[in-house]
Every structure is written in structure tokens, then in C-alpha cells.
Amino acid sequence: MKGIYEILRTKRDGGELSPEEIRWLIAGVVSGEIPEYQTSAFLMASVIRGLSIAETTALTEAMRDSGDSWDLSDIAPVVDKHSTGGVGDKVTLVLAPLVAAAGGRVGMMSGRGLGHTGGTLDKLAAIPGFRTDLDKDRVRKALVEVGAALFAQTDTVAPADRTLYALRDVTATVESLSLIVASILSKKLASGTTGIVFDIKTGNGAFLKTIDQSRALGRALVDTSRAAGRQASGRITDMSRPLGRAVGNALEAEESVRVLRNE
């Protein structure tokens, strides 16, 4: 096994890291044995040289395995829908109960806002008394009894992602597609979902502004999900104008309820 210096040199020179090297690296990051300055060097080398699908898959799985992984196979299929976000994007709030009403099971480990877009958790937080801090048992119960569960990442799920993201935020490495994919999918895979549908927003109201960026991210998300053993598909949807008539977390939650009531 190479040491951290050899791993950094390999990536710096454009070489490809093995899954074993990536697992060793992430284990060292989580344990603190690899200092932040060397982790930051790995992130920058990954941005400049890029990561192959094999490396991205290995990184995703290593980040997933850095904490708890939930097993929901006994109530499968459990499907997740992930949106890259946009102004007024409230699809999750409508889609999850509709799928549950049709007999499906939707489990979504959701996140906060990114940039100018409100995240699903932000919208749910606008509903008085709505809880998203659910553990595995509560999520399982909701999926069995209701058919849908929307919940936040727990402290024990993919802890490597929190460490890496904090460094990415201060080292100008946030925009790397491979690192974005690993960050998203490590949490999705750990939450026990068996299939994922990606809604890749594009346009001036989205996080990704161009169709080429959206296609690249969508392909990387789908390819990496499938390489990790999950069923996955993606759709690129237009975000050149807000979805619906309401913008703002509380207003979007209210509009979603009206849609479900067919008002």
C-alpha cells in the first residue's frame, strides 16, 4: 500500500488510484491520521486531474462506509428522487406523497439550500412541528406505515462527507463534478434506497447554468450509481423560470399542499 505522499504524487501526475488506496485515504481522513493540508492537496489534485468513474465510485463507497449504512432491503424497493435545485423547486413536496399514495415507497435523505436555492429541509422546516431528525427505525416505520419519509442526514451517516465538504468550501474545490457526485451519492447509498431518480436542473434559476454542465453531472451521477449497484436514471429539466407561483420556503410548502388538495 502506498503512503499518503505516494498517493498524492500519483494523483498529481495524472495517475489512477486503486479502490484500496482510496479506502485507506478516506479512513485516514476520518480518523484524523491524515492532516487537513494533505487532504486538501488530494482534493485539489482531484479537481485539476479529474477522477475516473472507477475512482469516483471507490470514493463514493469509501465515504458511504465511513459511517452507518442502513439496510432497508426487507421493505424494498425504496426510491429516492434527488434534485440539483432551483428557484421555486418544490417537486419533492408533491411527488413523495403522490408516489406513496400510489403504493410506492419514497425515502429521501434531503439537504439544506445551496446558493440561492432553498433545500427540501428548509421548506419542511417552515411547517410547524415537522420533524426531519429521524433515525433508521423512525424512517423504516414511516416507510412501512405511510410510504414516504423525508429526513436529514444523521451524524453517523457518511461522516467523511462532512469533513471533505468543509475543506472543499475553503480550498476552491466545491465545483468538481466527481467530488459533487461522491458527496451526494455517499449519503444516498448509506440511507438504504435501492433506486434513485436524478432531476438535473439547468438554466438561469438553477445551480448549473448550462446544458453541458447539467448533462455532465447527470451522466456522472447515473454512471456512478449504477457502478455502485443501484438502479438509477436522470432527467434534465428547465429552470429558466420558477416552478409554480410561489418562491420562498413557507410559501412553497403552502403551495404544495394546495396542489395535493387539487385546489
The pLDDT score that the predictor gives to residue 115 is 56
- Of the listed ranges 23-32, 58-67, 233-242, the least confidently predicted one is 233-242
Compute the average pLDDT of residues 83-91: 83
Q: Is 117's pLDDT higher than 90?
A: no
Retrieve residue 108's grid coordinates: 429521501
pLDDT band at 174 (very low <50, low <70, confident <90, very high): confident
Tell me the domains of the chain and their CATH numbers. 4-64 (1.20.970.10), 73-260 (3.40.1030.10)
Q: Which residue has the cell 427505525?
A: 137
- Of the listed ranges 28-32, 64-68, 129-133, 141-145, the least confidently predicted one is 129-133
Question: What contacts 24+ positions apart, CB below 8 Å, involve 245-254?
Answer: 246/88, 246/90, 247/87, 247/88, 248/118, 249/118, 249/122, 249/123, 249/125, 249/126, 250/123, 250/126, 252/88, 252/90, 252/93, 252/118, 252/123, 252/126, 253/90, 253/93, 253/123, 253/124, 253/126, 253/127
- Tell me the catalytic residues: 82, 161, 168, 183, 187
Residue 166: alpha-carbon gap to chain centroid: 15
The pLDDT score that the predictor gives to residue 110 is 84
pLDDT band at 107 (very low <50, low <70, confident <90, very high): very high
Q: Is 84's pLDDT higher than 70?
A: yes
| Residue, of 20 and 127, whose pLDDT is higher | 20
The pLDDT score that the predictor gives to residue 71 is 92
- Of the listed ranges 36-45, 56-65, 219-228, 235-244, the least confidently predicted one is 235-244
The pLDDT score that the predictor gives to residue 3 is 92
The pLDDT score that the predictor gives to residue 82 is 92
Strand partners, 151: 109
**Mean pLDDT over the full length of the chain:** 91
Question: Do the Cβ atoms of 198 and 82 come closer than 8 Å?
Answer: yes
Compute the average pLDDT of residues 31-35: 96
pLDDT > 70: percent of the chain: 97
Question: What contacts 24+ positions apart, CB below 8 Å, involve 24-27?
Answer: 25/62, 26/59, 26/62, 26/63, 26/66, 26/160, 27/62, 27/66
- Of the listed ranges 7-21, 38-52, 127-141, the least confidently predicted one is 127-141
pLDDT in tens, 204-246: 877 777 899 899 999 999 999 999 999 999 999 998 888 888 8
The pLDDT score that the predictor gives to residue 208 is 76
Compute the average pLDDT of residues 158-174: 91
The pTM score is: 0.86
Compute the average pLDDT of residues 178-193: 93
The pLDDT score that the predictor gives to residue 88 is 77
Q: Is 113's pLDDT higher than 70?
A: no
pLDDT band at 169 (very low <50, low <70, confident <90, very high): confident
